[in-house]
A and B are shown apart, each in its own frame.
Chain A
Amino acid sequence: GAVVSQHPSWVICKSGTSVKIECRSLDFQATTMFWYRQFPKQSLMLMATSNEGSKATYEQGVEKDKFLINHASLTLSTLTVTSAHPEDSSFYICSARQVFYEQYFGPGTRLTVT
């Protein structure tokens, strides 16, 4: 089956530093990748959609300068949380889509900002 990996699975950083999260589709080429944020006991909140070689499309209310997304290739997308603050602590999940009805999710990254 299709596999999406994320790295790191958890990270702790100090307030003001930047953190990069990688998302890879391991056995398929993803036409589109998505980044979600999930708060405890809540559903997934879509942050942005990215296509390889194009600028990401951010959802309303998501700061594009804080959450930098780079979709470098058909198998790799990165999310960089810049100048992280405690309120950015969350569970971040990426997802990769090969065709519109086949979307697979990574295992998530737990970010804690101290």
Chain B
Amino acid sequence: AQSVTQLGSHVSVSEGALVLLRCNYSSSVPPYLFWYVQYPNQGLQLLLKYTTGATLVKGINGFEAEFKKSETSFHLTKPSAHMSDAAEYFCAVIDSGNTPLVFGKGTRLSVIA
């Protein structure tokens, strides 16, 4: 069964600094990978996804992630953090078919002025 590990339950960066949120997965088949963002008391919004093709995926709000099969990773990055990026971020994986998304435990991003 697939699983997702997000390293760091809380990451704090200064405004303008690089954002790096780590995600590693385990899957017995080529996975489909997702990053979602959740603002307080709201549902989840899809940031980006990897299905097939180019391994560097660009998403909304300036975020991007790179699928590295050899490292079983799908880390999320943003060159310059904004205060509005403060939120909870979830990495998720699905291996195939109509199986449910499997989520990581989430990483809370704080942005310091």
Contacts and interface: CB of A to CB of B under 8 A. Distances in A.
Interface in A10-69: 31-32, 34, 41-44, 46, 49, 51
Interface string B46-84: 100101000000000000000000000000000000000
A106 B49 contact: no
A46 B94 CA distance: 14
A106 B43 CA distance: 5
Interface residues of A, number: 25
A31 B99 CA distance: 12
Contacts, number: 51
Nearest to A38: B38
Given A44-B103, A93-B43, A107-B42, A32 B98 contact: yes
Given A97-B98, A100-B97, 17 more contacts: A43-B103, A43-B105, A44-B90, A44-B103, A46-B100, A51-B98, A95-B101, A100-B32, A100-B94, A100-B98, A100-B99, A101-B51, A101-B94, A103-B34, A103-B46, A106-B43, A108-B42
